[in-house]
Structure 1
Protein backbone atom coordinates (compact mmCIF):
# COMPACT_ATOMS: atom_id res chain seq x y z
CA UNK A 1 0.00 0.00 0.00
CA UNK A 2 1.54 3.32 -1.08
CA UNK A 3 1.52 6.07 1.52
CA UNK A 4 -0.56 9.11 0.47
CA UNK A 5 1.16 12.30 -0.63
CA UNK A 6 -1.56 14.34 1.06
CA UNK A 7 -3.77 13.24 3.95
CA UNK A 8 -6.30 15.34 5.88
CA UNK A 9 -7.95 14.00 9.04
CA UNK A 10 -10.86 16.07 10.36
CA UNK A 11 -9.12 19.23 9.16
CA UNK A 12 -10.49 22.75 9.01
CA UNK A 13 -9.01 26.03 7.77
CA UNK A 14 -10.50 29.28 9.01
CA UNK A 15 -9.79 32.90 8.10
CA UNK A 16 -9.43 35.36 11.01
CA UNK A 17 -12.82 36.78 10.00
CA UNK A 18 -14.50 33.42 10.53
CA UNK A 19 -15.09 32.06 7.02
CA UNK A 20 -13.45 28.82 6.03
CA UNK A 21 -13.88 25.15 5.19
CA UNK A 22 -14.19 22.23 7.60
CA UNK A 23 -14.75 18.49 7.94
CA UNK A 24 -11.94 17.61 5.54
CA UNK A 25 -11.18 13.88 5.49
CA UNK A 26 -9.45 12.66 2.35
CA UNK A 27 -6.14 11.44 0.96
CA UNK A 28 -4.37 11.75 -2.38
CA UNK A 29 -2.02 9.02 -3.59
CA UNK A 30 1.16 9.57 -5.63
CA UNK A 31 0.26 10.35 -9.23
CA UNK A 32 -3.43 10.85 -8.43
CA UNK A 33 -5.35 13.90 -9.65
CA UNK A 34 -8.33 15.13 -7.61
CA UNK A 35 -10.89 17.67 -8.80
CA UNK A 36 -11.84 20.17 -6.09
CA UNK A 37 -15.40 21.15 -6.92
CA UNK A 38 -17.79 23.64 -5.37
CA UNK A 39 -19.51 26.98 -6.03
CA UNK A 40 -17.83 30.36 -5.58
CA UNK A 41 -17.28 31.08 -1.89
CA UNK A 42 -17.39 27.37 -1.01
CA UNK A 43 -13.89 27.35 0.47
CA UNK A 44 -11.90 25.89 -2.42
CA UNK A 45 -9.24 28.62 -2.44
CA UNK A 46 -9.23 28.58 1.36
CA UNK A 47 -8.37 24.88 1.32
CA UNK A 48 -5.55 25.38 -1.18
CA UNK A 49 -4.12 28.33 0.75
CA UNK A 50 -4.50 26.40 3.99
CA UNK A 51 -2.33 23.62 2.60
CA UNK A 52 0.27 26.30 1.80
CA UNK A 53 0.13 27.65 5.34
CA UNK A 54 -1.48 30.92 4.25
CA UNK A 55 -4.76 30.29 6.10
CA UNK A 56 -4.63 28.93 9.68
CA UNK A 57 -5.50 25.29 10.35
CA UNK A 58 -8.07 25.35 13.15
CA UNK A 59 -8.85 21.64 13.52
CA UNK A 60 -7.60 18.19 12.64
CA UNK A 61 -4.36 17.05 11.06
CA UNK A 62 -2.68 17.56 7.71
CA UNK A 63 0.16 15.36 6.47
CA UNK A 64 2.19 15.97 3.33
CA UNK A 65 4.45 13.10 2.29
CA UNK A 66 4.01 11.64 5.77
CA UNK A 67 5.00 14.81 7.62
CA UNK A 68 2.96 17.54 9.26
CA UNK A 69 5.59 20.07 8.19
CA UNK A 70 6.01 20.38 4.42
CA UNK A 71 9.58 20.98 3.28
CA UNK A 72 10.45 23.82 0.92
CA UNK A 73 9.48 23.01 -2.64
CA UNK A 74 7.29 20.05 -1.66
CA UNK A 75 4.16 21.88 -2.87
CA UNK A 76 3.78 23.74 -6.16
CA UNK A 77 0.98 26.30 -6.50
CA UNK A 78 -0.70 27.95 -9.47
CA UNK A 79 -2.91 30.81 -8.18
CA UNK A 80 -6.22 31.80 -9.73
CA UNK A 81 -5.00 35.29 -10.62
CA UNK A 82 -1.45 36.14 -11.60
CA UNK A 83 0.31 38.69 -9.41
CA UNK A 84 2.92 39.49 -12.06
CA UNK A 85 2.63 42.79 -13.93
CA UNK A 86 2.95 42.04 -17.68
CA UNK A 87 4.75 45.38 -18.08
CA UNK A 88 7.55 44.35 -15.74
CA UNK A 89 10.77 43.72 -17.74
CA UNK A 90 11.34 40.04 -16.93
CA UNK A 91 11.77 37.01 -19.15
CA UNK A 92 9.73 33.83 -18.98
CA UNK A 93 12.85 31.98 -17.83
CA UNK A 94 13.31 34.43 -14.94
CA UNK A 95 9.66 34.00 -13.92
CA UNK A 96 10.05 30.23 -13.82
CA UNK A 97 13.29 30.56 -11.82
CA UNK A 98 11.21 32.17 -9.05
CA UNK A 99 9.93 28.66 -8.37
CA UNK A 100 13.43 27.72 -7.16
CA UNK A 101 13.78 30.50 -4.61
CA UNK A 102 12.47 28.55 -1.62
CA UNK A 103 14.96 25.77 -2.33
CA UNK A 104 17.79 28.27 -2.81
CA UNK A 105 17.30 30.14 0.45
CA UNK A 106 18.95 33.46 1.21
CA UNK A 107 22.22 34.61 -0.37
CA UNK A 108 22.50 31.78 -2.91
CA UNK A 109 22.62 32.28 -6.65
CA UNK A 110 20.93 29.75 -8.95
CA UNK A 111 23.30 26.97 -9.95
CA UNK A 112 23.42 24.30 -12.62
CA UNK A 113 20.76 22.17 -10.92
CA UNK A 114 18.40 25.16 -10.68
CA UNK A 115 18.84 26.05 -14.35
CA UNK A 116 18.25 22.42 -15.31
CA UNK A 117 15.06 22.32 -13.23
CA UNK A 118 13.81 25.50 -14.95
CA UNK A 119 14.58 24.03 -18.36
CA UNK A 120 12.70 20.81 -17.53
CA UNK A 121 9.72 22.80 -16.22
CA UNK A 122 9.53 24.86 -19.41
CA UNK A 123 9.80 21.73 -21.52
CA UNK A 124 7.02 20.07 -19.55
CA UNK A 125 4.56 22.86 -20.46
CA UNK A 126 5.79 23.18 -24.05
CA UNK A 127 7.35 26.63 -23.69
CA UNK A 128 11.10 25.92 -23.82
CA UNK A 129 11.54 27.80 -27.14
CA UNK A 130 10.11 30.95 -25.49
CA UNK A 131 12.42 30.91 -22.45
CA UNK A 132 14.14 34.21 -23.33
CA UNK A 133 10.93 35.96 -24.41
CA UNK A 134 9.72 38.80 -22.23
CA UNK A 135 6.89 37.51 -20.06
CA UNK A 136 4.59 40.40 -20.98
CA UNK A 137 4.85 39.55 -24.69
CA UNK A 138 3.29 36.12 -24.22
CA UNK A 139 -0.38 35.39 -24.76
CA UNK A 140 -2.62 34.98 -21.73
CA UNK A 141 -2.63 31.22 -22.14
CA UNK A 142 1.15 31.09 -22.47
CA UNK A 143 1.53 33.17 -19.31
CA UNK A 144 -0.70 30.71 -17.47
CA UNK A 145 1.42 27.80 -18.65
CA UNK A 146 4.53 29.76 -17.68
CA UNK A 147 3.19 30.15 -14.14
CA UNK A 148 2.53 26.43 -14.09
CA UNK A 149 6.18 25.91 -15.08
CA UNK A 150 7.16 28.16 -12.16
CA UNK A 151 5.15 25.90 -9.83
CA UNK A 152 6.85 22.83 -11.32
CA UNK A 153 10.37 24.26 -11.10
CA UNK A 154 10.53 23.40 -7.39
CA UNK A 155 10.01 19.74 -8.37
CA UNK A 156 7.00 19.32 -6.04
CA UNK A 157 5.37 16.09 -4.98
CA UNK A 158 2.01 17.89 -4.76
CA UNK A 159 0.66 20.46 -7.22
CA UNK A 160 -2.21 22.79 -6.25
CA UNK A 161 -4.08 24.52 -9.08
CA UNK A 162 -6.75 27.19 -8.47
CA UNK A 163 -9.11 27.40 -11.48
CA UNK A 164 -6.25 26.99 -13.98
CA UNK A 165 -8.49 26.65 -17.05
CA UNK A 166 -10.41 29.93 -16.65
CA UNK A 167 -10.19 32.02 -19.81
CA UNK A 168 -7.92 29.64 -21.73
CA UNK A 169 -8.43 29.14 -25.45
CA UNK A 170 -8.66 25.57 -26.74
CA UNK A 171 -4.98 25.12 -27.72
CA UNK A 172 -3.73 26.26 -24.31
CA UNK A 173 -6.45 24.26 -22.58
CA UNK A 174 -5.41 21.12 -24.46
CA UNK A 175 -1.74 21.78 -23.66
CA UNK A 176 -2.54 22.15 -19.95
CA UNK A 177 -4.58 18.94 -19.93
CA UNK A 178 -1.72 17.07 -21.60
CA UNK A 179 0.75 18.48 -19.05
CA UNK A 180 -1.40 17.29 -16.14
CA UNK A 181 -1.72 13.82 -17.63
CA UNK A 182 2.05 13.61 -18.04
CA UNK A 183 2.64 14.78 -14.46
CA UNK A 184 0.43 11.96 -13.21
CA UNK A 185 2.66 9.42 -14.98
CA UNK A 186 5.62 11.03 -13.15
CA UNK A 187 3.77 10.41 -9.85
CA UNK A 188 3.15 14.08 -9.11
CA UNK A 189 -0.13 14.40 -7.19
CA UNK A 190 -2.56 17.13 -8.25
CA UNK A 191 -5.42 18.92 -6.49
CA UNK A 192 -7.18 21.12 -9.04
CA UNK A 193 -10.03 23.51 -8.29
CA UNK A 194 -12.49 23.69 -11.19
CA UNK A 195 -16.11 24.40 -12.09
CA UNK A 196 -15.79 22.34 -15.28
CA UNK A 197 -17.11 18.86 -14.52
CA UNK A 198 -16.33 17.51 -17.97
CA UNK A 199 -12.72 18.58 -17.55
CA UNK A 200 -12.71 16.82 -14.19
CA UNK A 201 -13.76 13.62 -15.95
CA UNK A 202 -11.01 14.01 -18.55
CA UNK A 203 -8.11 14.57 -16.17
CA UNK A 204 -8.97 13.49 -12.63
CA UNK A 205 -9.20 10.17 -10.81
CA UNK A 206 -11.27 11.39 -7.85
CA UNK A 207 -13.48 14.33 -6.93
CA UNK A 208 -13.82 16.33 -3.70
CA UNK A 209 -17.09 18.29 -3.29
CA UNK A 210 -16.99 21.17 -0.82
CA UNK A 211 -19.39 23.91 0.16
CA UNK A 212 -18.18 25.31 3.46
CA UNK A 213 -17.45 21.72 4.45
CA UNK A 214 -16.59 18.47 2.73
CA UNK A 215 -19.72 17.01 1.15
CA UNK A 216 -18.31 14.00 -0.70
CA UNK A 217 -15.02 12.46 -1.79
CA UNK A 218 -14.11 9.41 -3.82
CA UNK A 219 -13.49 7.91 -7.28
CA UNK A 220 -14.86 10.15 -9.98
CA UNK A 221 -17.07 7.46 -11.57
CA UNK A 222 -18.75 6.87 -8.19
CA UNK A 223 -18.90 10.35 -6.66
CA UNK A 224 -19.43 12.68 -9.62
CA UNK A 225 -23.18 12.06 -9.54
CA UNK A 226 -26.24 14.20 -10.16
CA UNK A 227 -27.23 13.94 -6.50
CA UNK A 228 -23.87 15.28 -5.31
CA UNK A 229 -23.88 18.05 -7.93
CA UNK A 230 -27.38 19.07 -6.79
CA UNK A 231 -26.37 19.13 -3.15
CA UNK A 232 -23.22 21.14 -3.84
CA UNK A 233 -24.46 23.56 -6.49
CA UNK A 234 -28.12 24.00 -5.65
CA UNK A 235 -29.40 27.12 -7.39
CA UNK A 236 -26.04 28.18 -8.83
CA UNK A 237 -24.29 27.86 -12.19
CA UNK A 238 -22.11 24.92 -13.13
CA UNK A 239 -20.36 24.09 -16.40
CA UNK A 240 -21.00 20.68 -17.99
CA UNK A 241 -19.78 19.79 -21.49
CA UNK A 242 -18.93 23.48 -22.12
CA UNK A 243 -22.50 24.56 -21.34
CA UNK A 244 -23.38 26.60 -18.28
CA UNK A 245 -26.42 25.27 -16.41
CA UNK A 246 -28.30 26.32 -13.30
CA UNK A 247 -28.67 23.33 -11.04
CA UNK A 248 -32.22 23.03 -9.67
CA UNK A 249 -32.79 22.60 -5.96
CA UNK A 250 -34.11 19.45 -4.36
CA UNK A 251 -37.88 18.99 -4.18
CA UNK A 252 -39.31 20.33 -0.99
CA UNK A 253 -36.57 22.94 -0.52
Structure 2
Protein backbone atom coordinates (compact mmCIF):
# COMPACT_ATOMS: atom_id res chain seq x y z
CA UNK A 1 0.00 0.00 0.00
CA UNK A 2 1.34 3.49 -0.79
CA UNK A 3 2.74 5.51 2.09
CA UNK A 4 0.54 8.35 3.39
CA UNK A 5 2.98 10.91 2.04
CA UNK A 6 2.38 9.74 -1.53
CA UNK A 7 -1.43 9.68 -1.34
CA UNK A 8 -1.58 13.24 -2.70
CA UNK A 9 -0.49 11.75 -6.01
CA UNK A 10 -2.59 10.11 -8.68
CA UNK A 11 -1.99 7.25 -11.10
CA UNK A 12 -0.11 7.08 -14.37
CA UNK A 13 -1.99 7.20 -17.65
CA UNK A 14 -0.97 4.03 -19.51
CA UNK A 15 -2.23 5.32 -22.88
CA UNK A 16 -0.55 8.74 -22.67
CA UNK A 17 2.24 9.49 -25.13
CA UNK A 18 3.93 11.56 -22.41
CA UNK A 19 6.99 9.87 -20.91
CA UNK A 20 6.35 8.18 -17.56
CA UNK A 21 8.97 10.24 -15.71
CA UNK A 22 7.34 13.44 -17.00
CA UNK A 23 3.90 12.27 -15.83
CA UNK A 24 5.37 11.72 -12.36
CA UNK A 25 7.01 15.14 -12.43
CA UNK A 26 3.68 16.67 -13.55
CA UNK A 27 1.84 15.12 -10.60
CA UNK A 28 4.45 16.19 -8.07
CA UNK A 29 4.48 19.71 -9.51
CA UNK A 30 0.69 19.90 -9.33
CA UNK A 31 0.75 18.71 -5.72
CA UNK A 32 3.23 21.48 -4.88
CA UNK A 33 1.28 24.12 -6.79
CA UNK A 34 -1.94 23.18 -4.99
CA UNK A 35 -0.30 23.26 -1.58
CA UNK A 36 -0.42 19.55 -0.82
CA UNK A 37 3.31 19.88 -0.28
CA UNK A 38 4.36 23.28 1.00
CA UNK A 39 7.73 25.00 1.44
CA UNK A 40 10.09 22.82 3.46
CA UNK A 41 7.94 19.69 3.14
CA UNK A 42 9.67 16.45 2.30
CA UNK A 43 8.45 14.72 -0.85
CA UNK A 44 7.79 10.99 -0.85
CA UNK A 45 11.04 9.03 -0.88
CA UNK A 46 12.33 7.29 -3.97
CA UNK A 47 11.19 3.95 -2.53
CA UNK A 48 7.70 5.32 -1.85
CA UNK A 49 7.42 6.71 -5.36
CA UNK A 50 8.67 3.44 -6.85
CA UNK A 51 6.02 1.55 -4.91
CA UNK A 52 3.27 4.06 -5.66
CA UNK A 53 3.85 4.18 -9.42
CA UNK A 54 5.34 0.73 -10.00
CA UNK A 55 8.35 2.13 -11.88
CA UNK A 56 12.12 1.84 -11.72
CA UNK A 57 14.38 3.91 -9.49
CA UNK A 58 15.92 5.56 -12.55
CA UNK A 59 12.48 6.73 -13.72
CA UNK A 60 11.79 8.31 -10.32
CA UNK A 61 15.18 10.01 -10.32
CA UNK A 62 14.54 11.46 -13.77
CA UNK A 63 11.21 12.86 -12.52
CA UNK A 64 12.82 14.46 -9.46
CA UNK A 65 15.62 15.92 -11.57
CA UNK A 66 13.00 17.70 -13.71
CA UNK A 67 11.63 19.43 -10.61
CA UNK A 68 15.13 20.31 -9.41
CA UNK A 69 15.86 21.84 -12.80
CA UNK A 70 12.75 23.99 -12.43
CA UNK A 71 13.90 25.21 -9.02
CA UNK A 72 10.90 23.69 -7.24
CA UNK A 73 12.74 21.22 -5.02
CA UNK A 74 16.14 20.67 -3.46
CA UNK A 75 17.87 17.40 -2.68
CA UNK A 76 19.62 17.03 0.67
CA UNK A 77 22.08 14.15 0.81
CA UNK A 78 20.94 11.46 3.20
CA UNK A 79 17.70 13.26 4.01
CA UNK A 80 15.61 13.31 0.86
CA UNK A 81 14.02 15.81 -1.52
CA UNK A 82 12.24 18.88 -0.15
CA UNK A 83 10.03 21.62 -1.56
CA UNK A 84 12.37 24.58 -1.87
CA UNK A 85 11.86 27.51 0.45
CA UNK A 86 11.52 30.66 -1.59
CA UNK A 87 12.46 34.21 -0.61
CA UNK A 88 9.64 36.64 0.14
CA UNK A 89 8.18 38.10 -3.04
CA UNK A 90 8.87 41.80 -3.43
CA UNK A 91 6.60 43.88 -5.64
CA UNK A 92 8.69 45.88 -8.11
CA UNK A 93 6.28 48.75 -8.64
CA UNK A 94 6.42 51.53 -11.20
CA UNK A 95 6.26 54.19 -8.46
CA UNK A 96 9.14 52.82 -6.40
CA UNK A 97 11.30 55.89 -7.11
CA UNK A 98 8.62 58.44 -6.28
CA UNK A 99 10.02 61.56 -4.61
CA UNK A 100 7.81 61.11 -1.56
CA UNK A 101 9.85 58.07 -0.54
CA UNK A 102 13.12 60.01 -0.71
CA UNK A 103 11.56 62.84 1.28
CA UNK A 104 10.77 60.27 3.97
CA UNK A 105 14.42 59.27 3.98
CA UNK A 106 13.75 55.81 2.57
CA UNK A 107 15.22 53.99 -0.42
CA UNK A 108 12.97 52.19 -2.89
CA UNK A 109 14.19 48.81 -1.61
CA UNK A 110 13.37 49.70 1.99
CA UNK A 111 9.90 51.02 1.14
CA UNK A 112 8.79 47.96 -0.80
CA UNK A 113 10.41 45.47 1.57
CA UNK A 114 8.51 47.01 4.46
CA UNK A 115 5.30 46.98 2.43
CA UNK A 116 5.80 43.25 1.95
CA UNK A 117 6.37 42.77 5.67
CA UNK A 118 10.01 41.78 5.16
CA UNK A 119 13.23 42.90 6.80
CA UNK A 120 15.57 44.64 4.31
CA UNK A 121 19.33 44.56 4.59
CA UNK A 122 22.40 45.40 2.48
CA UNK A 123 25.81 43.75 2.48
CA UNK A 124 28.83 43.19 0.20
CA UNK A 125 29.09 46.96 -0.26
CA UNK A 126 31.94 48.32 -2.39
CA UNK A 127 32.48 51.96 -3.43
CA UNK A 128 35.30 52.96 -5.77
CA UNK A 129 36.28 55.09 -8.75
CA UNK A 130 36.63 53.34 -12.12
CA UNK A 131 36.74 53.91 -15.84
CA UNK A 132 33.32 52.92 -17.16
CA UNK A 133 32.74 50.27 -19.79
CA UNK A 134 31.78 51.43 -23.26
CA UNK A 135 28.12 50.60 -22.63
CA UNK A 136 27.94 52.48 -19.32
CA UNK A 137 29.86 55.43 -20.73
CA UNK A 138 27.48 55.74 -23.68
CA UNK A 139 24.49 55.76 -21.34
CA UNK A 140 26.04 58.48 -19.15
CA UNK A 141 27.29 60.81 -21.86
CA UNK A 142 30.85 59.44 -22.01
CA UNK A 143 32.39 60.48 -18.66
CA UNK A 144 36.04 59.47 -18.27
CA UNK A 145 35.54 58.14 -14.75
CA UNK A 146 32.62 57.18 -12.53
CA UNK A 147 31.96 56.39 -8.91
CA UNK A 148 30.81 52.78 -8.72
CA UNK A 149 28.64 51.47 -5.90
CA UNK A 150 28.18 47.69 -5.67
CA UNK A 151 25.88 46.14 -3.10
CA UNK A 152 23.81 43.05 -2.41
CA UNK A 153 20.28 43.33 -1.06
CA UNK A 154 18.68 40.80 1.27
CA UNK A 155 15.13 40.14 2.44
CA UNK A 156 14.85 38.46 5.82
CA UNK A 157 18.48 37.43 5.48
CA UNK A 158 18.14 35.90 2.01
CA UNK A 159 19.97 37.52 -0.94
CA UNK A 160 17.57 38.61 -3.70
CA UNK A 161 19.36 41.32 -5.67
CA UNK A 162 22.83 42.53 -6.64
CA UNK A 163 23.07 46.09 -7.92
CA UNK A 164 25.85 48.24 -9.35
CA UNK A 165 25.36 52.00 -9.69
CA UNK A 166 27.52 54.25 -11.86
CA UNK A 167 27.54 58.02 -11.21
CA UNK A 168 29.74 60.45 -13.19
CA UNK A 169 32.77 61.40 -11.12
CA UNK A 170 32.17 65.12 -11.54
CA UNK A 171 28.83 64.68 -9.73
CA UNK A 172 29.87 62.24 -7.02
CA UNK A 173 33.46 63.10 -6.08
CA UNK A 174 33.75 64.49 -2.57
CA UNK A 175 30.05 63.95 -1.80
CA UNK A 176 28.13 61.43 0.29
CA UNK A 177 27.50 59.48 -2.95
CA UNK A 178 31.13 58.35 -2.76
CA UNK A 179 30.71 57.16 0.84
CA UNK A 180 29.59 53.65 1.90
CA UNK A 181 26.48 55.11 3.55
CA UNK A 182 25.08 57.94 1.41
CA UNK A 183 22.49 58.84 4.02
CA UNK A 184 18.66 58.88 4.20
CA UNK A 185 16.94 58.41 0.87
CA UNK A 186 20.07 57.03 -0.81
CA UNK A 187 22.02 58.47 -3.72
CA UNK A 188 18.93 59.85 -5.46
CA UNK A 189 18.23 62.08 -2.49
CA UNK A 190 21.86 63.26 -2.55
CA UNK A 191 21.73 63.99 -6.29
CA UNK A 192 18.66 66.15 -5.80
CA UNK A 193 20.35 68.00 -2.93
CA UNK A 194 23.18 68.75 -5.36
CA UNK A 195 20.71 70.43 -7.70
CA UNK A 196 19.99 67.50 -10.03
CA UNK A 197 16.25 67.18 -9.58
CA UNK A 198 15.27 63.86 -11.03
CA UNK A 199 12.86 63.99 -13.94
CA UNK A 200 12.44 60.43 -15.21
CA UNK A 201 13.95 56.95 -15.41
CA UNK A 202 14.38 54.58 -18.33
CA UNK A 203 14.55 50.85 -17.69
CA UNK A 204 15.48 47.87 -19.84
CA UNK A 205 14.44 44.48 -18.48
CA UNK A 206 15.17 40.97 -19.68
CA UNK A 207 15.15 37.50 -18.20
CA UNK A 208 17.98 35.01 -18.60
CA UNK A 209 19.72 32.16 -16.84
CA UNK A 210 22.35 33.26 -14.31
CA UNK A 211 26.11 33.06 -14.61
CA UNK A 212 27.97 30.83 -12.13
CA UNK A 213 29.03 33.92 -10.18
CA UNK A 214 25.44 35.17 -10.00
CA UNK A 215 24.30 31.77 -8.73
CA UNK A 216 26.87 32.05 -5.96
CA UNK A 217 26.17 35.71 -5.11
CA UNK A 218 22.39 35.27 -4.92
CA UNK A 219 22.46 31.68 -3.59
CA UNK A 220 20.17 30.63 -6.43
CA UNK A 221 18.66 27.18 -6.60
CA UNK A 222 19.12 25.10 -9.73
CA UNK A 223 16.81 26.24 -12.51
CA UNK A 224 16.03 29.71 -11.12
CA UNK A 225 16.51 32.47 -13.73
CA UNK A 226 17.40 36.08 -13.05
CA UNK A 227 15.88 39.38 -14.08
CA UNK A 228 18.52 41.70 -15.54
CA UNK A 229 17.42 45.33 -15.21
CA UNK A 230 19.39 48.36 -16.39
CA UNK A 231 18.02 51.73 -15.28
CA UNK A 232 19.16 55.21 -16.30
CA UNK A 233 18.17 58.23 -14.19
CA UNK A 234 17.82 61.65 -15.85
CA UNK A 235 17.65 65.05 -14.21
CA UNK A 236 15.33 67.88 -15.20
CA UNK A 237 17.91 69.17 -17.70
CA UNK A 238 17.88 65.82 -19.49
CA UNK A 239 21.32 64.81 -18.24
CA UNK A 240 21.83 61.12 -17.36
CA UNK A 241 23.09 61.17 -13.77
CA UNK A 242 23.17 57.48 -12.85
CA UNK A 243 23.03 54.03 -14.39
CA UNK A 244 22.07 51.10 -12.18
CA UNK A 245 22.77 47.58 -13.44
CA UNK A 246 20.78 45.12 -11.33
CA UNK A 247 20.57 41.32 -11.20
CA UNK A 248 17.52 39.97 -9.36
CA UNK A 249 16.44 36.47 -8.38
CA UNK A 250 13.39 36.00 -10.60
CA UNK A 251 11.46 34.00 -8.00
CA UNK A 252 11.71 36.89 -5.51
CA UNK A 253 9.96 39.54 -7.61
CA UNK A 254 6.66 40.48 -9.15
CA UNK A 255 6.83 43.31 -11.69
CA UNK A 256 3.90 45.68 -11.27
CA UNK A 257 3.46 48.73 -13.51
CA UNK A 258 0.85 51.37 -14.11
CA UNK A 259 0.86 52.54 -17.72
CA UNK A 260 -1.12 55.45 -19.17
CA UNK A 261 -3.74 54.57 -21.77
CA UNK A 262 -3.41 57.83 -23.70
Fold shared, TM-score > 0.5 on shorter chain? no
- What TM-score do you get using the length of structure 1 for normalisation? 0.25
Answer with 1 or 2: which has the greater Rg: 2
TM-score scaled by structure 2?
0.24
Which structure has more RCO (C-alpha within 8 Å, separation ≥ 6)? 1
Structure that is richer in strand per residue: 2
